[in-house]
């Protein structure tokens, strides 16, 4: 009997350690609103860097990051968060206005992606997109906005956070694969153009 008690005592810390690790893992997960707000902060930072930059290659890289991030962000909201929000709250106005604002942003994103710093309107397009996103974020995050009403509802924000994170990772993986393919094609087409190769190298370094 004494041996059994000692064995049990030795095993107890292992179970406690497993529970601690599980609890720590849960605490690092973001619920849906935390994840979406983190996206907002990241894009805001890139917009600020764009406005302060004087390098065309740096602006091109930042605009590319902004457009890709916003494309992924709007997709996961429209596919997962917005439908869940509408089902839980029946807030028709907030839901519909958010989707209309997304449509406007996506139209401008497409224009930015098809242009570049050589376009006289490039900086203006990014600036207007920044203002559109600031307004949209303010609408979602304000005291009586979508996020506040989502927290007041019975939405399972933790489960939604996991769904959003999984879909975001999937979309970002696809975007990175597409970018790698595009870079390889550019490298092949520029193989006999030293100037083009230099520009490609600078863009890869983020200069």
pLDDT, position 23? 39
pLDDT, position 203? 54
Distance in angstroms (rounded) separating the CA atoms of residues 127 and 105: 12
- Pull the structure tokens for residue 93: 């106005």
Give the burial class of 18: count Cβ atoms within 10 A of its Cβ; 0-12 exposed, 13-18 middle, 19 or more buried: exposed
For 29-173, CATH gives: 1.20.120
Tell me the per-residue pLDDT of 149-173, one tens digit each, with 9 for 90 and over. Answer: 999 999 999 999 999 999 999 999 8
- Pull the structure tokens for residue 47: 């917009």
Tell me the per-residue pLDDT of 58-103, one tens digit each, with 9 for 90 and over. Answer: 999 999 999 999 999 999 999 999 999 999 999 999 999 999 999 9
Query: 122 and 115 in contact (C-beta within 8 Å)?
Result: yes
Domain ranges, ordered by start, for the chain: 29-173
- Pull the structure tokens for residue 115: 């242009």
Tell me the per-residue pLDDT of 5-56, one tens digit each, with 9 for 90 and over. Answer: 444 444 444 454 444 444 334 445 789 999 999 999 999 999 999 999 999 9
């Amino acid at each position: 009997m004494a041996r059994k008690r000692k064995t049990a005592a030795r095993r107890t810390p292992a179970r406690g350690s497993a529970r601690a690790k599980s609890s720590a893992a849960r605490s690092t997960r973001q619920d849906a609103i935390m994840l979406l707000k983190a996206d907002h902060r990241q894009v805001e930072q890139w917009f600020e860097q764009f406005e302060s930059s004087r390098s065309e290659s740096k602006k091109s890289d930042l605009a590319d990051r902004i457009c890709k991030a916003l494309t992924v962000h709007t997709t996961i909201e429209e596919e997962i968060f917005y439908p869940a929000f509408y089902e839980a709250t029946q807030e028709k106005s907030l839901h519909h206005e958010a989707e209309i604002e997304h449509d406007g942003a996506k139209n401008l994103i497409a224009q930015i992606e098809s242009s570049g710093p050589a376009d006289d309107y490039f900086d203006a397009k990014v600036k207007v997109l920044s203002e559109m996103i600031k307004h949209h974020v303010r609408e979602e995050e304000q005291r009586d906005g979508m996020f506040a009403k989502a927290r007041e509802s019975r939405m399972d924000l933790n489960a939604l956070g996991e769904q959003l994170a999984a879909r975001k990772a999937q979309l970002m993986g696809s975007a990175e694969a597409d970018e790698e393919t595009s870079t390889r094609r550019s490298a092949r087409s520029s193989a006999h153009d030293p100037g083009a190769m230099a520009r490609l190298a600078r863009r890869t370094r983020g200069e």
